[in-house]
């Protein structure tokens, strides 16, 4: 995660420095159509049971990387911005709990269900760190207003839109000690999570910097398969950086 974030910030810094260099030397560079956008945010689970879903603030984070292509309505200050990208979410549990497959019931039928339990029940040791990781391929569709569409770098902007995502993979990461040795376990599986998700978001800012908020309208888990059978949604807030 740290290497991904470092790479993203380096690319953005290099792009900005290169653009400034060309301005000073008065040379022209090819215009890149569209926008590369990076979101850095923190996550919060809604409707989860607080006694078991105890998450860290900074450890539960999101990094989104998108490419968007603006379609402007004539000389209007409004534009439509479809795009595609990756959403990488992390959920860190401060109580060392992890998602473990248990059996739930629906009527007279038993179903697969994942609950947050102590890793002691699985590995015989208390976890030092525990995390749920989900990665999505996403399509953002955004309507945006710019006060200065001819000078985006100095324009105040407001955007509203929707995001549709497909889960590429998901896994749990647990770190614990046994006989003085640190052991890391990565368990890659569906974990009862929905394959598809959709939500709404808004963005407000100036130039290449803005604040954003995303609300996941769909449930994180398939019906009855999440912790305590709850329908858990999520909220992510943070900052956006426009690379070009």
pLDDT in tens, 171-229: 998 887 777 788 888 889 899 999 999 999 999 999 889 999 999 999 999 988 888 88
| pTM, rounded to two decimals | 0.81
pLDDT tens-place string over residues 124-153: 666 678 899 999 999 999 999 999 988 888
- pLDDT-derived band at 169, boundaries 50, 70, 90: very high
Question: For residues 44 and 78, what is the distance between their CA atoms, to the nearest angstrom?
Answer: 31
pLDDT at residue 24, as a whole number: 43
- pLDDT-derived band at 108, boundaries 50, 70, 90: low
């Amino acid at each position: 995660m740290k290497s991904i974030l470092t790479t993203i910030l380096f690319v953005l810094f290099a792009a900005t420095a290169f653009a400034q260099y060309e301005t000073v030397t008065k040379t022209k560079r090819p215009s890149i159509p569209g926008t590369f956008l990076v979101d850095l945010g923190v996550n919060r689970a809604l409707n989860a049971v607080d006694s078991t879903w105890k998450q860290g603030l900074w450890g539960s984070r999101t990094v989104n990387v998108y490419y968007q292509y603006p379609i402007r309505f004539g000389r209007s200050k409004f534009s439509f911005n479809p795009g595609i990208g990756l959403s990488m979410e992390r959920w860190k549990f401060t109580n060392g709990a992890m998602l473990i497959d248990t059996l739930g019931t629906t009527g007279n039928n038993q179903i697969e269900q994942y609950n947050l339990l102590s890793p002691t029940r699985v590995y015989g040791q208390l976890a030092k760190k525990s995390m749920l990781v989900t990665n999505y391929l996403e399509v953002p569709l955004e309507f945006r207003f710019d006060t200065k569409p001819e000078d985006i770098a100095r324009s105040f902007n407001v955007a509203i839109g929707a995001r549709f995502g497909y889960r590429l993979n998901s896994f749990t990461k647990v770190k614990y000690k046994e006989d003085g040795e640190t052991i890391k376990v990565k368990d890659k599986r569906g974990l009862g999570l929905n394959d598809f998700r959709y939500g709404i978001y808004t963005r407000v800012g100036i130039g290449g910097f803005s604040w954003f908020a995303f609300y996941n309208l769909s449930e994180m888990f398939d019906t009855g398969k999440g912790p305590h059978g709850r329908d858990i949604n999520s909220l992510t807030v943070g900052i956006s950086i426009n690379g070009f």
